[in-house]
Amino acid sequence: MIEIELATQVVSPGAQLTGRYTVDGRTVRAQVSLIWHTEGKGTDHREVLALVEHGDADLGPLGERRSGTFTFTLPGAPTSYSGNLLQIRWLVRVRAWSEGEHTELANASFVVGGASPPETWKIA
């Protein structure tokens, strides 16, 4: 099982996101990607903004669990959003390959920016 720990759950646009993950001890390769995607009524849109590959040498010592760290710099947009017809979600995805090409996948979602649902917006 893959476990992902993010340093923070709410990140400002343009800021850095750091985190750490642990994978099964038999893992030989892992990929960490930074993704945002839309959900809702419209056809989904997904963008992978960064992808980091961790090989056997990067995954820490062999043992019961192996681990890796990551740092991503977020772009200025889009921010997370929970609208009526569409939502924008951000996540870090870790995909791990163990011996025999068995793959595992886990996501950790986080929030970018401070946009609220539109019902709460008030103009000054």
Q: State the nearest-atom distance from the C-beta of 28 to another protein, in Å.
A: 28
Q: Do residues 114 and 49 make contact, with C-beta atoms less than 8 angstroms apart?
A: no
Dist CA 30 CA 22 (whole Å): 10
Q: Which is nearer to another protein, 55 or 118 (CB)?
A: 118
- Size of interface with another protein, in residues (CB under 8 A): 37
Q: State the nearest-atom distance from the C-beta of 57 to another protein, in Å.
A: 24
| 78 contributes a contact to another protein by CB under 8 A | yes
Q: Are strands 65-73 and 86-98 parallel, antiparallel or unpaired?
A: unpaired
Q: Which is nearer to another protein, 1 or 123 (CB)?
A: 123
Binding pattern for the stretch 83-122 against another protein, x by CB under 8 A and - elsewhere? xxxx-x------------------------xxxx-xxxxx
Q: State the nearest-atom distance from the C-beta of 91 to another protein, in Å.
A: 16
Strand stretches in the chain, DSSP E: 3-6, 10-11, 16-24, 27-40, 46-54, 65-73, 81-82, 86-98, 102-112
Binding pattern for the stretch 12-31 against another protein, x by CB under 8 A and - elsewhere? xxx-----------------
CA angle 31, 26, 102 (to 5 degrees): 65
